[in-house]
Structures are given as C-alpha cells and as structure tokens.
Amino acid sequence: MPVFDSLNFDDHEGVHFFSDDASGLKTIIAVHDTTRGPAAGGTRLWTYDNPQAAIDDALNLSRAMSYKNAMADIPFGGGKGVIMRPSGDFDRKALFESYGKAIESLGGVYCTAEDVGVSTADMEVVRTQTAYVAGLDTGTAASGDPSPVTAEGVFRGLHVAAKNALGQSDLKNVRVAVQGLGHVGYSLCEKLRRAGAKLWVADINEQAVLKAEQELGAVIVSTNEIYAQDVDIFAPCALGGAINSNSIDQLKAKIIGGAANNQLATADMGAALRERGILFCPDYVLNGGGIINVAAELSGRYNPSWVDEKLNGLCQTLNDIFKTAEQENLPTSIVADRMARQRIQTAAL
C-alpha cells in the first residue's frame, strides 16, 4: 500500500526510509508535525510481520507523539523511529551506528531516545554519529533511562483518576492489574505497592512476574486473563491495542490507565469505554513523563525541578480532560485529541 493511502498517514510532514545492507538496517523515521519544534520521539526495535506493519506502526506512533508533546507542553513536535529487527544474529553496534547516521542526515528535524527493544547503551552508540539523541547515561545533561520518569507520571495520573472515578485521594488498597512488566511497568508496580495498592500482573517474561510476586506480593495471572480481573484499575504497560473488540467486554475495572502507547485498537473504543462507565486515561497524556525527561536532556541543561513541574502539569491536564468529558458527555479520548490539536494550532499562530 502506498504510504499516502495509509489510514494512519494523517498528513505527516515526512516519512523517511533508510536501509544499509552492511549492518542490516531497515528503518522508518516518521515526522508527523514540527509546528511546536523539532520532532521528538523514541526509537523502537521490533520484529514486524511485514514492512507495511512497520510503516503503520511508525505513522501511528509519530502522530501520537505530536499529541503527547503538545499535552506535555514541551517545545517539540512529533516523530518516531522504528527499526525492523534483522533476522538471526546481527551486529548491534553496527546497526545503531548506521541508524545514528540516518538521524544525522535529517539535520535536526528528528530527535530520538529509547523505546521498546532499545537501551541506553544503544543510544550511546547512536550518539557517536549524531547529537540529536537523549536518554543517555553520560554527558552534561544526561539523566539515563527515562522509563522511571514515565512510570512516575503514570503513577501521579492514576491518583487523579482514582479521585475522579473511585472517590479516593490515595491508592491504598486499590486493586490494579498491570499488563506488561518491562522497565516502565515494573517501576510502576513498585510505586503502586509502596502506595498500598494490591497488584495482579501478567507478562510473557516468566522471570519478571516471579520477581513481582516475590518482591511486591503480586498475584500472577496469564496474559489472556489479565483483562478479566476483578480490579479497580487496568494498566496496559505492554504494546498498543490492548483495548479492542475482544478485550473490552472482559474488563471489570473502573479505570483504564497505563504506560503503553496507542492503547485503543480503534477510535470507537473510547466511546465504548464511556458507555460501560469506564474512565479512560488518554495514554499520550498519562505516559508523557518520559518525553518530558528527554526534553530536559535535549535542552542541554537537565533540571529535575522543571521535570517535576511538567509532571504536575500533566496531572492538571488529565483532570481538565476528565471534567470536560463529563460536562460535554464525550469520551476522554475525543476530548484529549481535540485539546492536543488546539495546542498545536495555537503554536502555529
């Protein structure tokens, strides 16, 4: 399918394809919008079924980054890089060196950091080829893996959601089902447990769930059963599309809020959640902590107080979304999209 015909194209400013036979690099860097500043978004290394799936993922994630960065009130537009994981063994250093060269060739239009399948060590390799990178362990503005800050933003946002949907000012004894125990998901679980929440967890990584059971007292459930747990909050922290036509009728939670990107498989899922009385925390608002941390690095002078202030701003934005959705009887997803587009349009004036 031509990229312009993709349902996810949404008037992207640029979609860039790079390949390098020597390293095995095949990557798509999608730049959705630069109205607010250079496009910023992480890089994902993933095994895709076919090139079209990689293109669609890049487009979808890039658009979400435009909205995320606008809602986080940072001076960046939206972009995303996806690397199609080479089959078999490959030279990881060579792959990310080649990727760094690709980013450099764009001349600052796109800045990157870690996403699924990518580490701070990979970003250090990228930095050998370009300055348009963050999420680093070394350097004057380095702050390391942004995952803990993403988790902190989700944690604070869930307090806001609990107050709105459960009438609770804290998370003590709140039951939370967490889908996905990667860097962000596990960090979120740690924060929830310290706050007195009760945990149900699922992940394809057996070691991760056993660790959560032993360290956090979590109840392990299968990846197929995590949706149907009798809990207050369902927190998708794995890949996108968790809320879909198959999972939605299984949900017993009163709140959906997690770190995963693009949690709604289709746009109509937002309305379907509202019809069922489930409060949805728009993902690109709730999980904006990581890109806020990246923005602090890219400024050249990392300021923890600025990051903390922006996280509090996300919570206020989330609360505003909830109030507007209730007043206008609209899905929170629709309200959030409208607000994000307004912020981008205002920046263009």
What is the per-residue DSSP string for 42-93?
-EEEE--SSHHHHHHHHHHHHHHHHHHHHHTT-S-EEEEEEEEPPSSS--HH
- Separation CA 299–CA 264 (nearest Å): 32
Q: Cβ contacts of residue 11 below 8 Å, gap of 6+? A: none
80 is catalytic: yes
- Separation CA 145–CA 154 (nearest Å): 16
- Separation CA 294–CA 38 (nearest Å): 13
Residue 342, CB-side half-sphere exposure with 13 Å CA sphere: 6
* Closest-CA residue to 340 (of 79, 66, 154): 66
pLDDT at residue 35 in the model: 96
Whether 147-288+316-343 and 3-69+76-127 are alike in CATH topology: the answer is yes
Place of tokens 């107050």: 163
The low-confidence residues of the chain, meaning pLDDT below 70, are 1, 7, 349
Q: For the packed helices 120-127 and 92-105, what is the interaxial angle rounded to 10 degrees?
A: 50
Fold of 3-69+76-127: Rossmann fold (3.40.50)
Give the pair of three-digit tokens for residue 68. 């995320």
Q: Are 237 and 259 in contact (CB under 8 A)?
A: yes
Give the pair of three-digit tokens for residue 267. 């746009």
- Separation CA 15–CA 130 (nearest Å): 19
pLDDT at residue 349 in the model: 67
- Separation CA 46–CA 8 (nearest Å): 19
pLDDT at residue 1 in the model: 62
Q: Are 160 and 170 in contact (CB under 8 A)?
A: no
Name the active-site residue from 68, 80, 198, 310.
80
pLDDT digits (tens, 9 = 90+) for 60-104: 999 999 999 999 999 999 999 999 999 999 999 999 999 999 999
Run of H or E including 343: helix 332-348
Q: What CATH superfamily classification does 147-288+316-343 receive? A: NAD(P)-binding Rossmann-like Domain (3.40.50.720)
Run of H or E including 18: strand 14-20
pLDDT at residue 139 in the model: 84
CB atoms within 10 A of CB 22: 9
* Closest-CA residue to 282 (of 229, 230, 339, 239): 339
Q: What is the DSSP string of 166-215?
A: T--SS-TT-EEEEE--SHHHHHHHHHHHHTT-EEEEE-S-HHHHHHHHHH
Domain ranges of the chain: 3-69+76-127, 147-288+316-343
CA distances from 98 to 23, 62, 110, 138, 144 (A): 7, 21, 15, 21, 22
